[in-house]
Chains A and B, each alone.
Chain A
Amino acid sequence: MIEIQKVTKHFAQKTVLHSLSARFEPGSVSMIIGSSGSGKSVLMKILVGLFAPDEGKVFYGTSDFFNLDLEEKTELRKQIGMLFQNSALFDSLSVEQNVLFPLQMFSKQTVRQQTERVNHCLERVGLAGTNNLHTSQLSGGMRKRVGIARAIALEPKYLFCDEPNSGLDPLNSIKIDELIREITLESGITTIVNSHDMNSVMEIGDHIFFLYRGKMLWTGSKNNIMETDCLELNDFVFATAFLKQVRRESKGHAQ
């Protein structure tokens, strides 16, 4: 479980996050949604410890992340996996070496066990046999998969995904979404996904947190997002003329 309490962040004179509180449950996918500039990325960076909040707290279980000492933080970080928007694979390494990297750095496993774990992770993301490919030889979808394989190599308790579908075609997006959901359920991990892709939200979002200009305007599930009266959320979800018409028609049917 991850919990944030009254998290506030300022940049220069501007407040980008206003006293946000939320709880992210294990074994489920929590989606943070909002338009560009709403503060999603800043919140994600605070959650993973890249930025410190100006006010408020972030709890991993019972540990107050920003009050841990360096060693405790390092220990905790071994339990965190992250998929970046552009995958952030290490350019100088092959697919296998990328997935192997966190294992070599932190695990006490033998070389054979590490290799087996790498092969298992690659197989899990549907990339068995790609061990020796260089990252420059991978498509966008494959890079995301390698990113997921690297993120789960150390069997994390917490998985963060920053815009996992950006730059992917609809089919690959669905595959990545399914993969994130399956991994979350399999291992009972706490998964937080930062996205503005509504297909993703409706596909895998168990809990949804809507950010608007740095404020948490709405929280709920994908089942009640359609019926919300939150105007800003409606504008975000039904952004296109086509979706607006779908909403009008669905309301008409309901009546």
Chain B
Amino acid sequence: MADKPVFLAQIVKLSMFFFYHLGRYLLLLRRLFKKPENNMLYTRELFRQMYSIGVGSIGIVTIIAVFSGAVTTVQTAYQLVAGWISKSVIGAIVSDSSLLELGPTITSLVLAGKIGSSIASEIGTMRVTEQIDALEIMGINAPGYLIGPKILGALLTIPLLIVLSISLCTAGGMVVGELTGIVPYKLFVEGARSSFQTYNLFFSMTKAITFSFLISSISAYQGYYVEGGSLEVGKASTQAVVYSSVAILVADYVLAQLLL
């Protein structure tokens, strides 16, 4: 009984913490919607971010996607013990898994680690070295210039990376199926084609866009409000990855519940 007030106090404290950060996060996002001081510099920054987020992540996305597809093929075949089930089912399962979960969610979790930490540490370092103060004193809308192009860059490139990931994941599963003799590629393609639904692609892209926004905005928020020195920048970087990943998983469930 004595623990009850303590427990309630903890709940209140956690709620206050959550709403404080949610409010500050929304106020920061509101500051993005101001007219850019110079369109050319903002566009240049957008392209720089698109290159950094998009091209810079192709390698890791490729490796993750190919191996995820390969492992899914092997594990699906291992679980399909009944001889009367057509092996084309493996193609259907691998392609659907790639489209619905492996492509968007796993890739986004990996990108939360790579891009999220990079965004948080870049902005955090600018904060502690007074570069953000320098922008503000010059009369530049610092969130608009620093965070806006990162979010827009992520929204434009991460869905493309996820399309690449879905394709490579399916291809990886197909190639491994053929090379190991688990399932001939013709049967694999037949299964993948038979199970394909355009709605699943829409669902997958909805997830991709949502996750892109969450990764970039949460990480930018973590970096923007860093106080202290390099230790705090490291901490913000870690928090960016953790909070982005949690947000992705929660959004994944909410979207599945709403759209499927």
Selected contact of B130 from candidates A77, A88, A105, A106, CB within 8 Å: A88
Q: Beyond A104-B41, A106-B37, is A85–B138 a contact (Cβ under 8 Å)?
A: no
Number of A-B contacts (CB under 8 A): 51
Distance between Cα atoms of A11 and B40 in the complex (Å): 40
Q: Within the complex, which residue of A80, A89, A104, A106 is in contact with B40, where a contact is CB–CB below 8 Å? A: A104
Q: Are A106 and B133 in contact (CB under 8 A)?
A: no
Judge if A219 is at the interface, Cβ distance under 8 Å. no
Does chain A have a CB within 8 A of B136?
yes
Q: Which chain B residues border A85 with CB–CB below 8 Å?
A: 130
Q: Which of B41, B137, B140 contacts A49 (CB under 8 A)? A: B137
Contact B38 A104 (CB under 8 A): yes
Size of the B side of the interface (Cβ < 8 Å), in residues, is 16
From B37, B41, B131, B140, A91 is in contact (CB under 8 Å) with B131
Cβ A50 vs Cβ B41 within 8 A = no
User: CB within 8 A of A88: which of B40, B134, B140?
Assistant: B134
Rounded to whole angstroms, the CA-CA distance of A189 and B138 in the bound complex is: 17
- Do residues A50 and B136 form an inter-chain contact, with CB atoms below 8 A? yes
B139: CB under 8 A from chain A?
yes
Q: For B137, give its contact among A77, A86, A89, A105 (CB under 8 Å).
A: A77
Closest CB-CB distance, B72 to chain A, in whole Å? 40
Closest CB-CB distance, A143 to chain B, in whole Å?
11
CA distance A235 to B163 in the complex (A): 69
Category for how many chain A residues contact B: 20 to 34
Contacts of A90 in B (CB 8 A): 131, 134
Chain B residues whose CB sits within 8 angstroms of the CB of A73 once the complex forms? 139
> Given the complex of chains A and B, what is the CA–CA distance between A90 and B125 in angstroms?
11
Chain B residue nearest to A85 in the complex (CB):
B130
B129 interface residue, CB < 8 Å from A?
Answer: yes
A17-51 vs B, CB cutoff 8 Å, 1 = contact: the mask equals 00000000000000000000000000000001110
Contact of A105 with B38 in the complex, beta carbons under 8 Å: yes
| CA distance in complex: A162, B134 (Å) | 12
Among residues of A, the one whose C-beta sits closest to the C-beta of B38 is A105
Contacting residue for B139 out of A74, A89, A91, A104, CB 8 A: A74
Instruction: Give the shortest distance, in Å, between A84 (CB) and chain B (any CB).
Output: 5
Are A105 and B131 touching (Cβ within 8 A)?
Answer: no
Of A50, A75, A77, A105, which one neighbours B133 at CB under 8 angstroms? Answer: A50
Q: Which of A48, A49, A77, A88 contacts B131 (CB 8 A)?
A: A88
- CB-CB under 8 A from A80, the residues of chain B are 137-138
Q: Which residues of A contact B129 (CB under 8 A)?
A: 86, 88, 91
Interface mask (B142-170 → A, CB under 8 Å = 1, otherwise 0): 00000000000000000000000000000
- Chain A window 101-118, contacts with chain B (Cβ cutoff 8 Å), 1 for yes, 0 for no: 010111000000000000
Contacts of A161 in B (CB 8 A): none
* Contact present for B134 and A105 (CB under 8 Å): no
Q: What is the CA–CA distance of A51 and B131 in the complex, to the nearest angstrom?
A: 16
Q: Could you jot down 24 A-B contacts, CB within 8 Å?
A: A48-B137, A50-B133, A50-B136, A74-B139, A75-B139, A76-B139, A77-B139, A78-B138, A80-B138, A82-B137, A84-B130, A84-B133, A86-B130, A88-B129, A88-B131, A88-B134, A90-B131, A91-B131, A104-B41, A105-B37, A105-B38, A105-B140, A106-B38, A106-B139
Q: 9 more A-B contacts (CB under 8 A) besides A49-B137, A74-B37, A91-B131?
A: A49-B136, A50-B136, A50-B137, A76-B139, A78-B139, A88-B130, A88-B131, A88-B133, A88-B134
Binding site for B on A (CB under 8 A): 48-50, 73-78, 80, 82, 84-86, 88-91, 102, 104-106
